Chains A and B, each alone.
Chain A
Amino acid sequence: MDLTKPYPTPTQETEPFWEGLRNEQVLLQRCDDCGKWIFYPRSNCPSCLSINLRWHEVTGEGTLYTFTVTHQATAPHFVDEVPQLIAMIDLNEGVRLTSTLVVDEANDPKVGAKVVPVFDHVSNEVTLLRYRLA
């Protein structure tokens, strides 16, 4: 049973995002034609299907849209992370992403709370974008 953490393998579309995280920067695509921000990175804008997309650095700050605390690992690879605090984060630019919350026990997460990025360098190649309460 291969239980190595299922870390991401970037693609040509997504590499700038992961490269940004390695440098502790949050980069998002924005559509030059319709102006909408885009997440996750892709080749075409999910609002107008334009291919004129450009990378921009953003703060990565946002609010907690929802979360759960798991008491049973979502896969055997995450047994060491239970309780997992899995969250959806609304970035200030209006896009939503999945992350995990790094919280101390004295500070219970609440939907709508302000959150800020935590760059978790899990290996030489991969940095995950986690969050903590602001």
Chain B
Amino acid sequence: MKLEGKAAIVGYHEYPHIRKFTGKRKFTLGQWADLTRLSLDDAGLEASDINGLVCTEIRETVSFTPATIVEYLGQPVNFAERVDLGGASPVGMVWRAAAAIELGLADVVVCALPGQPIPSNPNPGPVDPRRYFQSSSVNWGSPQAEFEIPYGNLAQNCGYAMIAQRYAAEFDYDPRAMAKIVVDQRRSGALNPNAVFYGKSVSIDDVLASKLVADPLRMLEIVMPVAGGAAVIVANEDVAKRCKHRPVWIKGFGEHLTMKTPTFAEDLCRSPVGPASAKAFEMSGVTRSDIDACQIYDCYTITVLLTLEDAGFCEKGEGMEFIRSHDLSCFGDFPVNSHGGQLGMGQGGGAGGMTQVIEGARQIMGRADQRQLPRCDHVYVSGTGGIMSEQAALILKGD
């Protein structure tokens, strides 16, 4: 089974990333509807064209999520799916949309991820434990509640720091090369009006002078939480050919999950994006040397480093040298996250990874303005959920 590559991203919308959101607050259902409207407009389609949707969790219900959204949008669908892959969800949503389209289940599928704050509840009720424990589950019977949280191993920073520390013990670790990932990406991000760091580039010394959060990771190597949100429209070949933009064909994908807590990874230095990417390349028939741009999920610098290695753009252990010897900015010889990545844009919660999908589409459509690459026909996109727990990859192609 493989994709024929006959489903395409035809439109998108991305909310500007804002550190302190002061606009009118909408429920996630309202944001879903608004993002759908704006991305349909972008494609040149109408509400009634939609007959499929892929979502993640929303704030207004714990279950029956797709039906709740369908009802709110007022658009019946033939295909609906809720994806639960953390930061890998956006990539997971897009390939599921493409697969449903190729199976003939739907013609136009909307994938949206609200990321703005919702109105304050006048009757707030008890505090949600996720406020403190974030993605770690404190529910009774959860392995994390018993064997991780009591030791303080929770949320994301310490897990990624332990990956970096292990990498440093096994391979070359160069803090200046790690900082250069941020510097190169922020150079692109400084040109992205949707980025929280628009107009704000940094130097290697700035990164190394930022606060140590969890050794060896520093503040500027970690995404800043922001208000965001994004949606893409995926459509079949007939629809794609009458939309406004150059179609962005979804040629291959892969997905791989190994654990929830990194303690239970067999090898912390070899991440699930390896098998996910191998599958995506094999399915697409595209080779690594065909790739014009990489949009790599970048919650932390270490995620970018391991993805470059594990996806096969360089050998294991050679990532630091690869970074030192390439310019990763949108003006460089090996563009990575030409939108600034999430390190440059900020992370709009679960919508963060959709910025990578959208920048891939934007570059292929030729709509990246000052950041536009001279040639962009093949893009590699990765998504990372949890702590390198669940990862997915996409190969996008323009004709």
Among the stretches B23-31, B86-94, B260-268, the one at the interface with A is B260-268
> Among A6, A69, A76, A81, which residue has its beta carbon within 8 angstroms of that of B149?
A6
**B contact residues, total (Cβ < 8 Å):** 37
- Contact yes or no, B211 A66, CB < 8 A: no
Contacts of A74 in B (CB 8 A): 152-155, 157-158
Answer yes or no: A50 CB below 8 A from chain B CBs. no
Contacts of B166 in A (CB 8 A): 65-66, 111
Give residues of chain B (236-262) contacting chain A, Cβ–Cβ below 8 Å. 261-262
Give residues of chain A (52-96) contacting chain B, Cβ–Cβ below 8 Å. 65-78, 81, 84, 86-88, 96
> Among B138, B153, B168, B213, which residue has its beta carbon within 8 angstroms of that of A86?
B153
Query: Given A71-B215, A75-B133, A88-B263, are A40 and B162 neighbors across the interface (CB < 8 Å)?
Result: no
Bound form: Cα–Cα A76–B165 in Å: 24
Answer yes or no: A35 CB below 8 A from chain B CBs. no
Contacts of B143 in A (CB 8 A): 40
- Contact yes or no, B152 A97, CB < 8 A: no
Bound form: Cα–Cα A76–B152 in Å: 10
- Contact yes or no, B145 A8, CB < 8 A: yes
A84-127, CB under 8 A of B: which get 1 and which 0? 10111000000011111000000000111000000000000010
> Among B127, B145, B169, which residue has its beta carbon within 8 angstroms of that of A9?
B145
Contacts of A20 in B (CB 8 A): none
Bound form: Cα–Cα A98–B213 in Å: 19
Give the residue among A68, A78, A110 with the most B Cβ atoms within 10 A.
A68
Give the residue among B138, B146, B151 with the most A Cβ atoms within 10 A.
B151
Answer yes or no: A11 CB below 8 A from chain B CBs. yes
- Contact yes or no, B141 A68, CB < 8 A: no
Contacts of A130 in B (CB 8 A): 151
Query: Given A68-B214, A71-B215, are A100 and B145 neighbors across the interface (CB < 8 Å)?
Result: no
Q: Which secondary structure dominates chain B's binding surface?
A: helix
Answer yes or no: A1 CB below 8 A from chain B CBs. yes
Contacts of B146 in A (CB 8 A): 8-11, 14, 40
* Residue in chain B with minimal CB distance to A65: B166
Bound form: Cα–Cα A8–B147 in Å: 7
B159-177, CB under 8 A of A: which get 1 and which 0? 0011101101100000000
Question: Number of contact residues on A: which range applies?
Answer: 35 or more
Bound form: Cα–Cα A76–B134 in Å: 12
- Contact yes or no, B214 A69, CB < 8 A: yes
Q: How far is the CB of B265 from chain A (nearest CB, A)?
A: 9
Contacts of B147 in A (CB 8 A): 8, 40, 97-98
Bound form: Cα–Cα A112–B263 in Å: 15
Bound form: Cα–Cα A23–B14 in Å: 56
Answer yes or no: B72 CB below 8 A from chain A CBs. no
Answer yes or no: B21 CB below 8 A from chain A CBs. no
Query: Given A6-B150, A86-B152, A128-B150, are A70 and B132 neighbors across the interface (CB < 8 Å)?
Result: no
Bound form: Cα–Cα A99–B147 in Å: 8
Answer yes or no: B64 CB below 8 A from chain A CBs. no
Q: How far is the CB of B266 from chain A (nearest CB, A)?
A: 9
Q: How far is the CB of B334 from chain A (nearest CB, A)?
A: 29
Answer yes or no: B212 CB below 8 A from chain A CBs. yes
Q: A11-B141, A65-B268, A98-B153 are in contact. List 7 more A-B contacts (CB 8 A).
A: A7-B150, A14-B146, A67-B165, A74-B155, A81-B152, A99-B151, A111-B166
Q: List 28 A-B contacts (CB under 8 A).
A: A2-B127, A6-B138, A6-B145, A7-B150, A8-B146, A9-B146, A10-B146, A11-B146, A14-B146, A40-B143, A40-B147, A65-B166, A68-B214, A72-B213, A74-B153, A74-B157, A75-B154, A77-B132, A86-B152, A86-B158, A88-B262, A96-B264, A98-B261, A99-B151, A100-B151, A111-B166, A111-B168, A126-B150
The list of the 5 closest CB pairs from A to B, nearest first, reads: A111-B169, A68-B161, A66-B166, A8-B146, A69-B215
